[in-house]
Structure 1
Amino acid sequence: MSDTAGDTARDTAAEAVEQAADETVDETAEETADETADETAEEAAERKRERRVAAWRAARRVLWHPSYQSTVRDRLAWLNDGAEGVYDLDQPVDMYGDRLVETLEERVAGLLGKEAAAFFPTGTMAQQIALRCWAGRTGNPAVALHELSHPEVHERHAFSQVSGLRPVHVTYAPRLSTAEEIQEVAEPFGTLMLELPLREAGFVLPSWEELSAVVEAARERDAVVHFDGARLWECTAHFGRPLEEIAGLADSVYVSFYKSLDGLGGAAIAGPQTLIDEAKTWRHRYGGMVLQQFPTALAALIGLERELPRLPEYVAHARVVAAALREGFMEAGVPWVRVHPEEPHTHQFQIWLPYESDVLGDAGLRQTEETKTGLFAQGWVRGGPGLAYTEVTVAAPGLEWTAQDVKAAVRDFVERLPR
């Protein structure tokens, strides 16, 4: 074969290989497009969620780092490190709520100024049992509560479906109920439940005088008062009073060990000894008599030791962050922004922006992936056409952010929004 013929053959072969490669690429692109088209909304949401978790784990600076974005190894290390000096780890483990769990119960009762306390695996179980016990004592299963309260929004009607209680809504307004509204409830109720702070309305609290008047109005109607205090721990700064005095307004109080204290879970009810004794009986009936709960109870003790004293500092800095967020978005040219409450009542608050929730979520995800800086840890919720909000929490990581740091992160976030 001549050199010319050989070159021609090689060129022809190369063209064939190139054409085959192009066809393969085209087929792959078509298959990818088909797969993307076949991807369900749920699968797309899960893929985005995985990206979000990965981005936050890789972030070097965040305003808040929720524990659910940690690894098992992270949480075990936190537990092991924090346990030193909090509890004698050479003691036998707890069995069905003794030893370590009893230590936690005594600590909670003392902090809240109540006769006794009972530990529960979940807050849903704890509050149902407390209110069920009160219904038996008052003879009235009706529970007056805000329509935005946690049992009504997040617990799938557990009060009525499981515990035989009957919710009576006081108001739907995005604030705590007033004394006048309590007085005007159209039917008798045995218990008034107050969520402090009211999360769905923006973690809002009444004034001390307003809260006292609401409690008095319930007493005038021969009702007992129960505080849904999942986040009661951080209310002292707003009220300017210690936990014991705040809890003293109520007949019983529920508190959570993970929402503000960074624990692994768990909750407690505090109140009169006779109520707590009965609640522990119902705890067994509801399936809450767990063999060993030392990891959760130990984490709660660590939270009380480490986080509880720092909550007033978090609340104070949340007000700095809130003001910087508002000013930062205005300076960046966003046409409208609202921080709610304008001065946060706790270390958590809402921020509202005039964009769709997916637009804001995508901008935040890109910012965290590209800059390793996380500004908004929670997802965005649609609040109306072209309007969305998210919750902002300021804890230990946020203390490192100055107002100028916040504004710089806001400018970077806004650059990723459509104009």
Structure 2
Amino acid sequence: MTDDDDLTKRLLAAGRTADRTLSPGAREATVAELLAGLAAPDPDEPADLYGDGVVARLERRVAELLGMEDAAFFPSGTMAQQIALRCWAGRTGNPVVALHPMSHPELWEGGALSLVSGLRTVHPTTDPRQPTAEEVADLAEPFGTLMLELPLRDAGFLLPSWEELEALVGAARERDAVVHFDGARLWESTVHFGRPLEEIAGLADSVYVSFYKSLGGLSGAALAGSSSLVAEARVWRHRYGGQVFRQFPQALSALAGLDGELPRLPSYVAQARMVAGALAEALADGPVPWFRINPETPHTHQFQVWLPYGADRLTEAGVRLAEETGAVLFRRWSPAPVPGVSVTELTVTAPGLTWTREEVHEAARAFTARL
């Protein structure tokens, strides 16, 4: 067993037995716990076949929430988004997609946009922030689709302001381009924008949303848009191997997330802002020479913390804190683009709502003491 394997085991054990945590770790759930969350409202309802029944009910619910004509369930967000961008390329006659280089298709999909779908990308900016309307307007070549990741996860879960978002969409329209939102985490953006979901989604021609990133579902995603776009996407879904025989477990967990987690997301955002502020206070008074909370006031219920230490050292300190005090503050750290600096992501969900400012201070001080 490697040192990393041992650390992973310790992380899982500490997370499962912790007295306090900001959010459960994805690897900590057991099969029994996940199955317990799949109780059907009507246990006599027939199981779906290739996406009818409960899956179709989920699709109608998503379309209604986003104010779109229709929505289609996909086994993964990667597939949903690949197909959306491919459809738009065919409809606009332009295979070029303008998007941020830190967006999901560029970082986490193995070059599939070009290798699988024959698309090409251009970048309005390379800075770790949302692009501006001016940068979209000034792109040197035509593009068929502007894709905006809302929020931009790898830059710190960053959102533009509502006025900036309207301007970005307007700039794309001026370039005769369509607009697609990568809304994997769009559900929790309503607090920052001060707008309901349907108004936010209504700015775009199509929107992809995830069922597990914020809603706690097993897996799966949906693509929403016009009836004609979604009908075309369903054809491509079959071609891509996404016409799965049974999908009711994912659909049931997604519906449970829409019922249970979606209404609570604004409270998670508010608590994340408290936690971020309390962390900044504790770190500023502690022994660390430098830190960064990114963004300083979180746009969603997730944000980054940067510290000038090696990732293994920071992860070990977090594991020891959990093992010795029962409080999970940080989990895994990763090397940042800056040498000698590491970064981690913090998420606040239901378990984190019980934390007080003083408890965050205490956990942060105990963490830095273990460095």
Unaligned runs of 5+ in 1: 1-38
- The structural deviation recorded for 1:387 is 1.2
Is 1:79 paired with 2:38? yes
Shift of 1:265: 0.5
Distance 2:33 2:181 in 1: 33
Query: Contact conserved, 1:197 with 1:231, CA < 8 A, in 2?
Result: yes
Give the corresponding residue for 1:26: none
Partners of 1:332 and 1:326 in 2: how far apart?
10
> How far apart, in 2, do the equivalents of 1:219 and 1:240 lie?
23
Q: What amino acid maps onto 2:119 in structure 1?
A: L
Q: Does the 8 A contact of 1:356 with 1:385 survive in 2?
A: no
Q: Which moved more, 1:265-274 or 1:367-376?
A: 367-376
Deviation of 1:296 (Å) = 0.4
In the alignment, which residue of structure 2 is the partner of 1:348? 302
- For residues 339-371 of structure 1, the C-alpha deviation after alignment (integer angstroms, 9 at most, x for no partner) is 111100000001111211111011011111222
Aligned residue for 1:344, secondary structure, equals: coil
Once the two structures are superposed, residues 213-267 of structure 1 have per-residue CA deviations (whole angstroms, 9 ceiling, x without a partner) of: 0100000010000000000000000000000000000000000000000110100
Task: Check whether the contact 1:183–1:218 (CA below 8 A) recurs between aligned residues.
Answer: yes
Determine the C-alpha separation between the residues in 2 that align with 1:94 and 1:284.
16
Tell me what 1:322 maps to.
Answer: 276
Say yes or no: does 1:408 pair with 2:362.
yes
Residue in 2 that maps onto 1:199: 153
Q: Which runs of 5+ in 2 are unaligned?
A: none
Aligned residue for 1:48?
7
Give the match's secondary structure for 2:98. strand
2:323 to 369, 385, 394: 369
2:267 aligns with one of 308, 313, 316: 313
Whether the 8 Å CA contact 1:234–1:260 is kept in 2: the answer is yes
- The answer as to whether partners of 1:109 and 1:115 remain within 8 angstroms in 2 is yes
Shift of 1:93: 0.3
Instruction: After superposing the two structures, state which structure 1 stretch, 55-64 or 398-407, moved more.
Output: 55-64
Structure 1 residue corresponding to 2:343, chosen from 373, 383, 389: 389
Q: Per-residue CA shift, 1:186-229, capped at 9, x if unaligned?
A: 11111000000000110011111101001000000100000000
Contact 1:197 1:229 in 2 (8 A): yes
Separation in structure 2 between the aligned mates of residue 414 and residue 363 of structure 1, nearest angstrom: 8
* 1:378–1:392 contact (8 Å) kept in structure 2: no
For normalisation by structure 2, the TM-score amounts to 0.98
- Distance (Å, rounded) in 2 between the aligned partners of 1:182 and 1:378: 35
2:247 matched residue in structure 1: 293
Q: For residues 105 and 321 of structure 1, what CA distance do their matches in structure 2 show?
A: 35
Is 1:108–2:90 an aligned residue pair?
no
**How far apart, in 2, do the equivalents of 1:170 and 1:156 lie?**
21
What is the distance in 2 between the residues matched to 1:301 and 1:380? 33
Per-residue CA deviation, residues 66-122 of structure 1 (Å, 9 max, x unaligned), is 233111111112233xx4xxx322110000010100000000000000000000000
In structure 1, the residue matched to 2:127 is 173
Q: Select between 135-144 and 47-56 the one with higher mean Cα deviation.
A: 47-56
CA distance in 2, matches of 1:62, 1:411: 16
- The structure 1 residue matched to 2:313, chosen from 353, 359, 377, is 359
Q: 2-side partners of 1:308 and 1:299: how far apart? A: 13
Instruction: Give structure 1 regions of 4+ aligned residues with deviation exceeding 6 angstroms.
Output: none
Identity, % of aligned positions: 64
**Superposition CA RMSD, Å:** 1.1
Secondary structure at the aligned position of 1:53 is classed as: helix
Q: Deviations over 1:305-353 (max 9, x none)?
A: 0000000110011110000001111222322221111100000001111
For 2:216, which of 234, 252, 262 is the aligned residue?
262
Query: Which residue among 18, 22, 29 is the counterpart of 1:63?
Result: 22
Matching residue's letter, 1:165: L
Return the alpha-carbon distance in structure 1 between the equivalents of residues 336 and 293 of structure 2: 16
Is the Cα contact below 8 Å between 2:312 and 2:333 reproduced in 1? no
For 1:414, give the aligned amino acid.
T
Deviation at 1:168, TM superposition (A): 1.4
Normalized against structure 1, the TM-score is what? 0.87
Q: Which residue of 2 aligns with 1:273?
A: 227
On the 8 A contact 1:64/1:377 being kept in 2, the answer is no
- Determine if the alignment matches structure 1 residue 150 to structure 2 residue 109: no
User: In 1, distance between residues paired with 2:133 and 2:84?
Assistant: 23
- What do residues 270-309 of structure 1 show as CA deviations (whole Å, max 9, x unaligned)? 0000000000011001000000000001100000000000
- Where 1:280 maps in the other structure, the secondary structure is helix
Q: Give 1:126's match in structure 2, choosing from 80, 103, 125.
A: 80
> 2:218 is paired with a residue of what secondary structure?
coil
* Map of 1:233 onto structure 2: 187
Query: Which of 334, 352, 358 does residue 398 from structure 1 map onto?
Result: 352
Within a 5 Å distance, the mapping from 1:15-26 to structure 2 comes to none
Give the Cα–Cα distance (whole angstroms) in 2 for the partners of residues 131 and 274 of structure 1.
14
Query: Do 1:65 and 1:377's aligned partners in 2 also have CA atoms closer than 8 Å?
Result: no
The equivalent of 2:114 in structure 1 is 160
Q: Tell me, yes or no, if structure 1 residue 91 matches structure 2 residue 50.
A: no
Residue 158 of structure 1 aligns to which amino acid in structure 2?
A
Provide the C-alpha distance between the structure 1 equivalents of 2:111 and 2:266, rounded to a whole number of angstroms: 34
Higher Cα radius of gyration? 1
- Of Structure 1 and Structure 2, which has the larger fraction of its residues in helix? 1
> What SS class does the counterpart of residue 217 from structure 2 fall into?
coil
Q: Which moved more, 1:363-372 or 1:216-225?
A: 363-372
Separation in 2, partners of 1:243, 1:271: 14
- The residue number in structure 2 matching 1:15 is none
